[in-house]
Structure 1
Amino acid sequence: MHSPLRSNRLTFLSLVLYCFIIINNVTTTTTTTTLTFHEAYSPLFSKFNIHPSPDDKTVRLLLNRFSGSGIISSDYYNYGFFSASIKMPSQHAAGIVVAFYTSNVDTFEKNHDELDIEFLGNIKGKPWRFQTNMYGNGSVSRGREERYRMWFDPTTHSHRYSILWTPTNIIFYVDNIPIREVVRTAGMRGDYPSKPMSVYATIWDASSWATDGGKEKVNYKYEPFVTEFKDLVLEGCIVDPTDQILSSNCTDNIAELMAKDYSNITSEGRKSMKWFREKYMYYSYCYDNIRYPVPPPECVIVPSERNLFKNSGRLRSKMKFHGSHHRRGRANRRRRNKNKGVSDV
């Protein structure tokens, strides 16, 4: 029999550990300079659905039955650190994708690079999920995606998501917690992103695949769907992507970037990453032996992770969710069951 007391205790302990991790990581993260919307970005598509705040520090992107919307950084960057605090749409969000990513597809159409954080909406009452991915030199047939759940409700408050991209490593962060690192190896060759990229933020209708394999579509009864971006950070060497030889000025910028605290994961950061990946990752291409009988060269097989996954790269057992969605769901069930005279066990 499932014990509510034990479940609540596990949830409490998980939150205490999370707070401890956040405190330790915040104290070691380099201070960054935030930009206003118009300092950092320009409209990409559907300007009528892009709404900057009066002080220009926040921008809201809308999806409605007419269109989604998107913005693009005003410059290209040769490596960098890119970050934003993002709040997801509430209500019924099935079929919706919110993306924060880097790409150069508009300049290098057939051999583009890309680093993705994609947030996948869900039906009302079920949690948002998100995934990270990497493409280099047009390697779209060799997607390197990982998928995760969250330990918080991303629709109630903004949370910070960041992408670090240097010549030697890539790190994805959530609220200063490193959740994934890709270290460049010789075996990756052109699969490692190395050409200048822009930074994008978008919201769009992905009804064909985003929720339950496309079974759940966007329900425009709940429009508009609004995602909010603020605390915008774009740090890197600004370049012209068409230059055959990049400016030597980038040498100093890249060295400065790689010297920042966020470019290297501390021992405490490693513990944080281990906590996140073993608790909230539910798919990893590195453990998908059906798709990749030989793991791609950058994969580091971690035994404690490997034991959690099937050969399909998916979890052996159903993930237990202990975040804010879980607590809210239990509270709602208790109220309903109390009215029906049913015990919540």
Structure 2
Amino acid sequence: MAPIFTTTFSKPDELRSDWTAQTDDLAALKSCRRPGNVETSNVGARFATLVATDCRARWSTGSIFTKAQYSYGFFEATIKIADIKGMNNAFWLTTQDHYEIDIGEVQYPNYSHIGLQYWPTDKSEKHAGVGFGAKFTDNLSYGFHDYGVLWTPKELIFEVDGEPVAALVTNDAIKGPVNIWLSAALADWAGGSVPDHPEGHGMVVKSLRVIGLKASER
């Protein structure tokens, strides 16, 4: 089935038209996020780590999310993570009904956190979440790997390099639609302490594809 959205992040005009670049400076992170840290190239989107000049944090990284929203389907990104500890290389979805689907929070050298969270809309609700840790034999920074999720009304099936690694039964709880997020962030909780000089070490996203479900598959 043909993708309903696909990109190799090679064209600057497509990055500007299809994605919104995030600007933030969160106390929980050791990097702010700035639009200029995400650039297209002939190998994909480069999420650069730079010495910060205009934020509280010492370094800056990058984060982008789609302007368009998508419904049930298969979402897969091909990613080469940064080759340092302390970097959260993340690919996830956020829904209009306040769910966060973590396809991969990948950390050097070989760990990915996968999960689902519900974020309350007011004080009458409570945060809820479930997560899985997947550890691999390969050093995930040595090359590109595929991270994906099949999202149907009934379940979430997560995969890495085409192999299923986790699944959740959702029973129509998540109705979407979703925005797609890609980001790099420095934090001591991301696989180990941030090194003294993380600048120059970044994530690369080679491609992204979204395949929608047929009506008969929903």
Q: Answer yes or no: same fold by TM over 0.5.
A: yes
CA offsets, 1:130-157, max 9 Å, x none?
A: 1101024648733201112112121111
Match of 1:101 among 74, 92, 104: 92
Larger % of strand: which? 2
2:105 alignment counterpart: 118
Q: Which amino acid aligns with 2:194?
A: V
Deviations 1:272-329 (A, max 9, x none): xxxxxxxxxxxxxxxxxxxxxxxxxxxxxxxxxxxxxxxxxxxxxxxxxxxxxxxxxx
Match of 2:56 in 1: none
Aligned-residue offset at 1:78: 1.9
- Native 8 Å contact 2:118 2:127 kept in 1: no
Alignment partner, residue 114 of structure 2? 132
- Unpaired stretches in structure 2, ≥5 consecutive residues: 24-33, 53-59
Q: Could you tell me whether the CA contact under 8 Å between 2:80 and 2:145 is conserved in 1?
A: yes
Q: How far, CA to CA, are the matches of 2:37 and 2:196 in structure 1?
A: 15
Which amino acid in structure 2 is aligned with residue 175 of structure 1?
A: D
Corresponding residue for residue 177 of structure 2: 196
Partner of 2:190: 210
**Which residue does the alignment assign to 1:47?**
35
Identity of aligned residues (%): 25
Please state whether the residue corresponding to 2:215 is helix, strand or coil: helix
Cα drift, residue 222 of structure 1: 3.8
Shift of the 235–180 alpha-carbon distance from structure 1 to 2, 3 Å rule, reads same
Shift of 1:64: 2.8
Which one of 63, 66, 74 corresponds to residue 73 of structure 1?
Answer: 66
Considering only aligned residues, what root-mean-square deviation do their CA atoms show, in Å? 2.5
State whether residues 80 and 142 of structure 2, in contact with CA within 8 Å, keep that contact through their aligned partners in structure 1.
yes
> In structure 2, do the counterparts of structure 1 residues 140 and 155 end up closer, same or farther at CA, with 3 Å as the change threshold?
farther
- The letter for the 2-side match of 1:98 is N
Match of 2:139, SS state, is coil
Does the 8 Å CA contact 1:130/1:149 hold for their aligned counterparts? Answer: yes
1:83-124 CA-to-partner distances (Å, cap 9, x unmatched) read: 11100112xx222111000013xxx5xx61110011123xxx
Alignment map for 1:150-299 (pairs within 5 Å): 150-185=136-171, 192-207=173-188, 209-211=189-191, 216-236=192-212, 254-255=214-215, 258=217
SS of aligned partner of 1:145: strand
1:146 match = 132
Question: CA offset at residue 200 of structure 1?
Answer: 0.3
Q: Aligned to 1:48, what secondary structure does the other structure show?
A: helix
Q: Between Structure 1 and Structure 2, whose CA radius of gyration is higher?
A: 1
TM-score by length of 1: 0.50
SS in 2 for 1:143: strand
1:29-44 matched pairs, under 5 angstroms: 32=3, 34-37=6-9, 38=14, 40-44=18-22
1:254 CA drift (Å): 4.4
Shift of 1:193: 2.3
Q: Aligned partners of 1:51, 1:35: CA distance in 2, in Å?
A: 14
Query: Aligned pair in 2 of structure 1 residues 255, 141: CA closer, same or farther (>3 Å)?
Result: same
